[in-house]
Amino acid sequence: MKELKEKILAEGKNMGGGILNVNSFLNHQVDCELMVHIGQELAERFASDNANKILTAEISGIAPALEVGVALGVPVVFARKIWSVTMPKNCHVRMVPSHTKGTMVQLIVAPDFLNKGDRVLIIDDFLATGRTIEALAHIVGESDADLVGFGAVIEKAFEGGRARLAAFNVPIESVVIIESMEGDKIVFR
């Protein structure tokens, strides 16, 4: 997707250690028009998979997941990281490491919103190590819903996420794939 590649080259900051700072349009400020286009692009790639639900993880997954949901006309569930009094006690929970925060975080999903027969498409901002998406996929499995695919806005191919997710045997689509981030460069596949 040319529009996203150009945005990454113009505004993305390679901070070293494989960290791509896209706070100006994805992780802190959101370019709404670009996000709509990203949502449409991912929706097209999964158009034939008949997803009836999107699952993502707060926080930065919400914006792209919402625009995929708008494009496909299906609801979005975002896994919460902190339990609140409005959540039931029997939630699905997985722990995953946070790349940019250096801690473990929880992903919590109320069982009410993932049911047997649901066809779930998992969307996230980044596909890096794949651990967050893998945890979401395990939650889908635990809920007896069917997993139909993984979609990411930006894939960092050098962090091995695609290999980690291969065992789920569903399509994996990334809007753009970054091959390497040596030095201060950002090289697309």
Residues that bind its own copies (CB under 8 A): 13, 15, 19, 21, 23-25, 27-33, 35-36, 58-59, 62-63, 66-67, 69-70, 73-78, 80, 82, 84-87, 100-102, 109-110, 112-113
Of the two residues 32 and 187, which places its CB atom closer to its own copies in the complex? 32
79 token code pair: 């896994």
Q: Which residues, including other chains, have CB under 8 Å from residue 165's CB and lie 6 or more apart?
A: 127, 130, 133, 134, 137, 150, 172
Report how far residue 122's alpha carbon sits from residue 84's, in angstroms, rounded to the nearest whole number: 23
In the complex, what is the shortest distance from the CB of residue 21 to its own copies, in angstroms, rounded to a whole number?
4
In the complex, what is the shortest distance from the CB of residue 71 to its own copies, in angstroms, rounded to a whole number?
9
Of the two residues 80 and 131, which places its CB atom closer to its own copies in the complex? 80
Report how far residue 178's alpha carbon sits from residue 176's, in angstroms, rounded to the nearest whole number: 7
In the complex, what is the shortest distance from the CB of residue 100 to its own copies, in angstroms, rounded to a whole number?
4
Contact between 107 and 94 under an 8 Å Cβ cutoff? The reply is yes
Q: How many CB atoms lie within 10 A of CB 186?
A: 18
In the complex, what is the shortest distance from the CB of residue 166 to its own copies, in angstroms, rounded to a whole number?
28
Of the two residues 145 and 165, which places its CB atom closer to its own copies in the complex? 145
